[in-house]
Structure 1
Amino acid sequence: MCYSKEVQLATGSTIWVSSLIYYFWFSIKYQAIQKKWLMPFLKNVILAFALIGGHQIFEFLSLLTQNQIVYKIGLILSISSMYFFIHSLEVILNRDLRSKVALWVIGGVAVHAFLVEMSFEQFSFYLKHNSVFIWASAWMLLFIYFHVCAIKGRKLLKDDISKKAIITYLLATLDVSFILSAIYTLWGYSRFSLNVCTDSPSIWCTFYVIQIFALPLFLSAVPRMLDAPKNKTTQTLKETLLYFLVSVLILILLISTLPFFKCLSLKFVFP
């Protein structure tokens, strides 16, 4: 039985509705707190969640219409969320992480997506992405860069509880679903030959609905946990290049594991 359409609609709608509720609820709470960074932080996080929810909705519409443009818009919405996650990190660290670099990556992915034919199909509770190597690689590159900046940025925070808040932030926004989807993907590969390359992106996206339950816990705690730096700093160009280089190397290591799963093919890389 294939019920991917219903799952994508349900998860996307849940993320959208919850994001809207959280925005209005925490806007009221944050406006009563004398911390100027709270509202910009909230806006960026909610926008990131909404974009991922939008990807789920567009996956539903893609399956409904079998339309390539709808499918590709969904991919671009998804990767665009990483810009807002990185920007939200800039807010709580009060540091320019050169997040606009992410826009160049996203722009390149968008151009590539609309220049090539892509195929997709519904399977079980998720979508098989048969030709998204460039998109998935770029997504992971920004995901890794985000984590590198967060881990390095912890050193700018004075107290231990603020440093712990950054780790909690990563878990509440991205990492819980990433870890669970990775576990499910590996289990699925070992049990019923799940295709790691084509299946894992949508599995993670579907599992992402879990984050919507972790987010309010973090948003409730962050005003108490985090003491954002008062003086704004800027990540140097040298640091940015270094962090991107580290991110690329980690990405290459991850990609190098794909042949082990017997799913990396020329058709997947060059659709």
Structure 2
Amino acid sequence: MCYSKEVQLTTGATILSFSIFYYIWFSIKYQAIQKKWLLPFLKNVIIAFALIGGHQIFEFLSIVTKNQIVYKTGLIFSISSMYFFLRSLEVILNRNLRSKIALWVIGAVAIHAFSVTMSFEQFGFFLNHNSAFIWASAWMLLFIYFHVCALKGRRLLKDDISKKAIITYILATMDISFILSAAYTLWGYSRFSLNVCTASPSVWCTFYVIQVFALPLFLSAVPKILEAPEEKTDQTLKETLLYFIISITILALLISTLPFFKCLTLKFVFP
């Protein structure tokens, strides 16, 4: 089996290099298309991808250096990607989704992470995050909130092609790797008692390299299959609160399954 540090370095470098290439290539293509939202959308998506690639690089450096600051910086890089995914969604929906709330969540996670000692270790082709419950929960909260906003936002689009494009966008940017990593984690749990709590975040990040091969297909098609609304709309505070309540409820249901996998420990939650 490959060592984790080799896999993390390879996946991180792949994500970063392809992200840079896609930004240059599609920036040139989009400049010739009379749709002002394309370039801001591209910028936010690429930054999000680059941050996840950066997290992979920092996982590699964490293994090599065993340094807490390096490890925690990587965690913040990773969760920060969700802010830019939300920003990209705001662009294609032409709707204020209150994405700045994500910055408050990320800030709180950063304060917590740099206030405690966190444990991590190399395992197989990924990293075991032994005390990253707060970070992982916040990541999933923003991930779920993103999906709630996307599914609600697509209903505001006029044509069916654009509505389907939102689903394609979600798959091309996050959900393919999420589904595959979840399947692998459950398989690993059943076959060799993989720790679902500590392993799943790094498994997902490693599988994320798959998204860099799906992304260009969407970026090539998006000018033709999606029409961003001309009139900008705002998600009300009431709607935002409702969507966060829904997201927290879904997150709580997911967390409630962890005792079944016998991995939810006090040390994992309170490092």
TM-score range, shorter chain: over 0.9
Does residue 28 of structure 1 match 2:28? yes
Secondary structure class of the residue paired with 2:128:
strand
Distance 1:120 1:114 in 2: 14
Distance 2:186 2:2 in 1: 21
User: Is the CA contact 1:9–1:60 (under 8 Å) kept in the aligned structure 2?
Assistant: yes
User: Is the CA contact 1:12–1:55 (under 8 Å) kept in the aligned structure 2?
Assistant: yes
The percent identity for this pair of structures is 82
Deviation at 1:236, TM superposition (A): 0.1
Deviation at 1:223, TM superposition (A): 0.2
User: Is the CA contact 1:62–1:68 (under 8 Å) kept in the aligned structure 2?
Assistant: yes
Distance 1:155 1:6 in 2: 43
Distance 1:121 1:13 in 2: 21
Counterpart position of 2:81: 81
Counterpart position of 2:105: 105
Deviation at 1:2, TM superposition (A): 5.5
Counterpart position of 1:116: 116
Distance 2:2 2:75 in 1: 22
Distance 2:192 2:211 in 1: 27
Counterpart position of 1:249: 249
Which structure 2 residues correspond to residues 52-91 of structure 1 after superposition, within 5 A? 52-91=52-91
Counterpart position of 1:128: 128
Deviation at 1:29, TM superposition (A): 0.3
**Residues 138-197 of structure 1 deviation map (CA, whole Å, 9 limit, x = unaligned):** 000000000000000001100000000000000000000000000000000000000000
Does residue 266 of structure 1 match 2:260? no
Counterpart position of 2:150: 150
Counterpart position of 1:219: 219
- After TM superposition, the score normalised by the length of structure 1 is 1.00
- After TM superposition, the score normalised by the length of structure 2 is 1.00
Distance 2:18 2:34 in 1: 25
Distance 1:30 1:210 in 2: 24
Counterpart position of 1:19: 19
Counterpart position of 1:232: 232
Distance 2:112 2:268 in 1: 14
Counterpart position of 2:40: 40
- Structure 1: 5+ residue stretches without partners: none
Distance 2:223 2:119 in 1: 44
Distance 2:80 2:201 in 1: 15
Counterpart position of 1:192: 192
Distance 1:146 1:65 in 2: 34
- Report the residue type matching 2:62 in the other structure: S
Distance 1:260 1:169 in 2: 32
User: Is the CA contact 1:83–1:102 (under 8 Å) kept in the aligned structure 2?
Assistant: yes
Distance 2:95 2:216 in 1: 24
Secondary structure class of the residue paired with 1:115:
coil
Distance 1:16 1:266 in 2: 35
Distance 1:246 1:121 in 2: 34
Distance 1:162 1:48 in 2: 22
**Residues 205-252 of structure 1 deviation map (CA, whole Å, 9 limit, x = unaligned):** 000000000000000000000000000000000000000000000000
User: Is the CA contact 1:2–1:123 (under 8 Å) kept in the aligned structure 2?
Assistant: no
User: Is the CA contact 1:86–1:99 (under 8 Å) kept in the aligned structure 2?
Assistant: yes
Distance 1:189 1:155 in 2: 37
User: Is the CA contact 1:2–1:122 (under 8 Å) kept in the aligned structure 2?
Assistant: no
- Report the residue type matching 1:83 in the other structure: Y
Secondary structure class of the residue paired with 1:156:
coil
- Structure 2: 5+ residue stretches without partners: none
Distance 1:40 1:140 in 2: 25
Does residue 138 of structure 1 match 2:138? yes
Does residue 202 of structure 1 match 2:202? yes
Secondary structure class of the residue paired with 1:260:
helix
